[in-house]
A = this chain, B = another copy of it.
Amino acid sequence: MNVQTNIDTSTEDLMANAIRALAMDAVQAANSGHPGAPMGVADMATVLFNRFMKIDPSADKWPDRDRFVMSAGHGSMLVYAINHLLGYDDMGMEQIRNFRQMGYRTAGHPEYGHAKGIEVTTGPLGQGITTAVGMALAERMGNARYGDDLVDHYTYVIAGDGCLMEGISHEAIDFAGHHGLGRLIVMWDDNQITIDGSTDVSTSTRQQARFEAAGWHVQSIDGHDKEAIAAAIEAARAETGKPSMIACRTVIGFGAPNKQGSHDVHGAPLGADEVAAARKHLGWTHAPFEVPAEVYDAFHAIAARGREARLDWEKRLGGHPKQDAFETAQANPDKRALDAAINAYKARLSADAPKVATRKASEMALEIVNGTLPNTVGGSADLTGSNLTFTKGMKDVVRDDFSGNYVRYGVREHGMAAIMNGIALHGGFIPYGGTFLVFADYMRGAMRLAALMGIRVVYVLTHDSIGLGEDGPTHQPVETLASLRAMPNMMVFRPADAVETAEAWQAALEMDGTPSVLSLSRQGLPTVRTSHTDTNMTAKGAYVLRDTDGPRDVTLIGTGSEVEIALAAADKLASAGIKAAVVSAPCFEAFAKQPQAYRDAVLGTAPRVGVEAAVRQGWDTLIGNDGAFVGMSSFGASAPAGALYDHFGITADAVADAAKSLI
């Protein structure tokens, strides 16, 4: 075991107090922030890092490092203090001094990509612990593929009361227990305080019993007793068949003599007097932002231990029979291979012109994708047969065998999205997962973090309009597309046929730095792209699907299942002598990034009609204020799909009439 022994506990006291001092001083300087959590968990974190963590600040992305997730993200100063002390080269004292200031890495909540050693963006409660479940799952999956020599690490979490009150924590805990994620160790900062006061105000769940009910290994300790912390982590590591929860009874704001243990220390600076009192109380004689060499030395020893482990690991990797496979999985997807496979497939599709639902087309595209990329990991929130996310030859990931590539997420949409974040952040795998489009509402908290972090996660969201029919308005998205398009850095694809669906998968997988939504129909749709091109037209966002012979009288713009309607409307208009071009617009975000000249050429100068079985919001950028829109302005209804399209007036006749009214 790669664990520190012969601990000098007096040094550990200093290490913990250094974290406390930096936290309270930084918050005081910023006049903003949360000193309570870092001061409360400083002992837990010190023991964890000093005796157990396997990390190398000089190689922050080393794949076999242990992961540390501060789920209680408001305690960001814990992370910054530790990373500073460990010697991450981007976390100098200037960063600490300028906590929460413009242009510094020390944001109010830890942000992935802003500084090294931050494994995940946290702050919205419950996200960290659930993302960690994804990391721990990916670790076991990697271990099953590449063996102990290459993948053998732990995921440690510090979670607060808020994290455990959020509903997503139930999804995380149930899933982790079911899958027996023995490398996941959650330390619960049981400080009995929330913003509104004592936890007695709002909860009385016995967390230990709750975790045990979900199949976890559970211990309860004094979170300030360093030997007890070490013993508990040892025991948690020894339990390999279950995830572990260590309930650590702590005092929030530990060390601030007049405020500790109350919610006053949660989210506000201690104040100069209390900072001074805390210094005295802790015996910390150093000026603000000054740390004695002894403390740096101790933290640097952790880094040195990690560096050694990393060098050993690199030796094991070099020449390992699975080296190539391992490195391929860590890298971006093989674009050349994927392009070749997709292009061959597209050519066949354009020739065969199948009529299939785009959810079925997605399954067909996934057969190609999963046959080409070795490290996709599929899944669904208990809608596998509806989302069509399981392709031939896939295998379930189960507790006794992590060698598969399909995850049964259960009826846990939010959990699925956060676990996929964890899989993507861990590296080595590309996660995709399905549910109905309308249930993006359940996942939004985690989807937003994926967009903010800029990670490659694909949401397979089927049953994407009133076209799902009888299940009715609770299941029919009308505003969901708009709500997702509103989100920065989220690509929303709504392909019209099997060809565009293949292109959407290609684009989603090849883009680096954005998650993607695939919005897919339940109902069958004809192939509209019957003429093959290798160019990924969907990745352009919008393109002229059917042009006119001579100047356009009108441009009809559709997405997804409504492109068929736009084409039929163009036919009707043609028979009335009106020349209508048809534009397919599968991705508004991609289109917005095209050169102005391309966009102008696609949209043309003739009047425009948009058609989408959803609300108009967001369409004005394509059709203009003067454009017409055929779509939804209310929730849907329960009836067969055809009856609903007629009832809500989303028909070729309506589009043709709208076009005529504009000309």
Contacts and interface: CB of A to CB of B under 8 A. Distances in A.
| A123, A384, A647 — most chain B CB neighbours (10 Å) | A123
Contacts of A445: 439, 441-442
Contact of A213 (B33, B206, B451, B470): B206
B618 A100 contact: no
Contacts of A103: 639
Interface in A355-399: 380, 382-386, 396
A284 interface: no
A323 interface: no
Interface stretch (A3-11, A131-139, A486-494, A498-506): A486-494
Interface stretch (A63-71, A473-481, A574-582): A473-481
Interface stretch (A309-317, A510-518, A535-543, A629-637): A629-637
A384 B486 contact: no
Contact of A486 (B33, B215, B475, B486): B486
B382 A196 contact: yes
Contacts of A439: 124, 445
A143 interface: no
Interface string A409-448: 1111111000000000000000000000011011011001
Interface stretch (A197-205, A227-235, A286-294): A197-205
B202 A615 contact: no
Interface string A184-227: 00000000001110000111111101101111000000000000
B639 A100 contact: yes
Nearest to A384: B196
A350 interface: no
Please provide the 6 A-B residue pairs with the shortest distance between their CB atoms, ordered closest to farther.
A167-B167, A202-B410, A170-B170, A620-B620, A107-B638, A123-B474
B486 A482 contact: yes
A643 interface: yes
A634 B452 CA distance: 9
A74 to B, nearest CB: 8
Nearest to A211: B213
A36 to B, nearest CB: 14
Which secondary structure characterizes the binding site on chain A?
loop
Contact of A203 (B101, B106, B410, B634): B410
A635 B121 CA distance: 13
Interface in A508-533: none
A166 B412 contact: yes
Interface string A607-630: 000000001011011001100000
A326 to B, nearest CB: 29
A604 interface: no
A449 interface: yes
Given A174-B203, A174-B204, 20 more contacts: A102-B637, A102-B638, A102-B647, A165-B174, A166-B167, A167-B170, A167-B412, A169-B170, A170-B170, A178-B205, A194-B410, A195-B384, A201-B408, A202-B410, A204-B214, A205-B214, A479-B486, A483-B487, A485-B617, A486-B615
A404 interface: no
A199 to B, nearest CB: 8
Nearest to A121: B474
A306 to B, nearest CB: 28
B202 A178 contact: yes
B615 A617 contact: no
A656 interface: no
A473 B107 CA distance: 9
A21 to B, nearest CB: 20
Interface string A643-660: 110010000000000000
A469 B408 CA distance: 40
B123 A202 contact: no
A285 B489 CA distance: 60
Given A166-B167, A475-B109, A195 B383 contact: yes
Contacts of A165: 171, 174, 382, 410-412
A445 B441 CA distance: 5
Interface string A72-113: 010000000000000000000000000011110011110100
A405 B6 CA distance: 57
Contacts of A202: 175, 178, 382, 408-412
Contact of A625 (B209, B615, B620): B620
A333 interface: no
Contact of A471 (B108, B444, B474, B478): B108
A107 B476 CA distance: 12
Nearest to A637: B102
A162 interface: yes
Contacts of A637: 102, 107
A32 interface: yes
Interface in A13-31: 30
Nearest to A73: B474
